[in-house]
Amino acid sequence: MELSANQIEQFNSQGFLFIPSLFDADEIANLNSRLPSILSDRGPKTLRERGSDSVRSAIAPHLDDEVFQKLSLHPRLVRPAQQILEGEVYLHQFKVNAKEAHDGEIWHWHQDYRTWYEDDGMPQPDVINATVFLDEVNEFNGPMMFIPGSHKNGRIDSDNDFERVPEYGRLSADAVGSPYKQETINSEIEKHGIAAPKGPAGSTIFFHGCTLHGSGPNMSPWGRAMVFSSLNKIENFIRKPTRPDFLALQDFTPLVPLEDGCLRRH
Ligand code: SIN
Ligand code: MN
């Protein structure tokens, strides 16, 4: 799959691109058949919500699960990343955020690149995320929210004294506070508004490492699992990792996409 010039222009102006139903029902059923086993892992790669046993994030499932490994090499994710970043890419991070029914908690407003610059020594914001919906995302189950165009600011240093906890601990830092003061976020929202793409399972959002984003809690009876594949330009490999290598992956080999039907069972 190739992105059109129009889609690339939209990504560059908005800082994100939403493609409804990029993966079909069979491909999503194949991925979802692996989730119970991935989410039941009790090891350090599984982060839980505050005060509950619900899974917040399952980190790097592609290292142990062959179906998620195929998704990590899927041409419908890798090829758009190569087009947007204009070069070869490798996987910087790969995770499932479960946002479980009734229990899924908030992700405060943040930029991913700020963390990747500070914690991993990533030199430039030449990095994108591809976010694949494993469930339908609606207005009730904690859709992701983006501030369109906010990526044009580049990296924004934190201006808030937020509580920092090790991201590989029980919680990710984005659960306990935003790195930004409300005024900083408010002025971006006044200028650009908020977008919250919603759609069927299989829909995918590509977004820039500097696009401000977050999500509210999930108070609904419907889970909102999403995969986040963070694709970094080869030359932009991380220079000073401080986190475990399942969070900041360190295989800098260029990804070679598999064939387009690799996730289909029928
Ligand atoms: C993230 O920004 O890393 C996660 C956001 C979400 O799962 O809603
Ligand atoms: Mn994020």
Digitized pLDDT (tens) for each residue of the chain, 266 residues in all: 899 999 999 999 999 999 999 999 999 999 999 999 999 999 999 999 988 899 999 999 999 999 999 999 999 999 999 999 999 999 999 999 999 999 999 999 999 999 999 999 999 999 999 999 999 999 999 999 999 999 999 999 888 877 666 555 555 656 678 889 999 999 999 999 999 999 999 999 999 999 999 999 999 999 999 999 999 999 999 999 998 999 999 999 999 999 999 999 97
Distance 266 CA to ligand 1 centre (A): 31
Contacts of 116 (CB under 8 A, 6+ apart): 92, 122, 127, 209, 230, 238, 248
Q: What is the DSSP track for 188-216? A: HHHHH--B---BSTT-EEEEETT--EEE-
Distance 213 CA to ligand 1 centre (A): 8
**Residue 44 token pair:** 């350090």
Which of 55, 137, 174, 178 for a ligand 1 pocket mutation test, highest count of atoms within 8 Å of Cβ? 174
Cα torsion for 216, 218, 223, 229, to the nearest 10°?
Answer: 20
Decide: helix, strand or coil at residue 81.
helix
Is the CB of 16 inside a 6 Å radius of any atom of ligand 1? no
Is the CB of 131 inside a 6 Å radius of any atom of ligand 1? no
Which domains does the chain possess? Answer: 6-236 (2.60.120.620)
For the chain, how many helices (H) and strands (E)? Answer: 7, 10
Distance 156 CA to ligand 1 centre (A): 18
Is the CB of 144 inside a 6 Å radius of any atom of ligand 1? yes
Q: What residues does 173 pair with on adjacent strands?
A: none
- Which of these, 206, 155, 198, lies nearest to 11 by C-alpha position? 206
Tokens 């980190």 belong to 59
Point out the ligand 1 atom lying closest to the alpha carbon of residue 95. Answer: 3
Which of 139, 228, 229 for a ligand 1 pocket mutation test, highest count of atoms within 8 Å of Cβ? 228
Of the listed ligands, the closest to the CA of 97 is 1
Q: What's the one-letter identity of residue 196?
A: A
d(CA 238, CA 100): 31
Check residue 46 and give its pLDDT. Answer: 94
Ligand 2 ion local residues (Cβ < 5 A): 112
**Going edge to edge, which strands form the sheet with 226-233?**
16-19, 204-208, 127-133, 226-233, 89-97, 55-59, 46-48
8 Å CB contact between 146 and 196? yes
Check residue 162 and give its pLDDT. Answer: 72
Contacts of 17 (CB under 8 A, 6+ apart): 3, 7, 10, 11, 80, 205, 206, 207
- Which of these, 76, 207, 218, lies nearest to 137 by C-alpha position? 218
Is the CB of 224 inside a 6 Å radius of any atom of ligand 1? no
Which of 54, 59, 107, 206 for a ligand 1 pocket mutation test, highest count of atoms within 8 Å of Cβ? 107
DSSP 137: B
